[in-house]
Amino acid sequence: MDRAQNLAGLASIAVARQSMGEAKWQTMENMRRAAYIHRIVDCMLTGQVARLPDTYRINPV
């Protein structure tokens, strides 16, 4: 993915956030966090430390 595609993706996320309302966005954010934690636990339990997800937070533009 190049920079232009990345920026276009971030812009579409920002539009989606504005169009769905704060409560629905928070539900999606909570589900994303739960999936992230689930992946970390799964990797740790199976000994796949090299496959742990990145720890930085993605901030839409």
Q: What pTM, to 2 d.p., does this model score?
A: 0.52
Q: Which two tokens stand for residue 30?
A: 């909570």
pLDDT at residue 28 is higher than 90: no
What is the Cα Rg of the chain in Å? 14
User: Is 49 exposed, middle or buried (CB count within 10 Å of its CB: 0-12, 13-18, 19+)?
Assistant: exposed
Handedness of CA 51, 53, 55, 61 (dihedral sign): positive
What local confidence, expressed as pLDDT, does residue 61 receive?
A: 57
pLDDT at 19 over 70: yes
**Position 34 pLDDT exceeds 90:** yes
Give the pLDDT score at 58: 64
pLDDT per residue as tens digits for the range 48-61: 767 666 666 666 65
pLDDT over 80 at 12, yes or no: yes
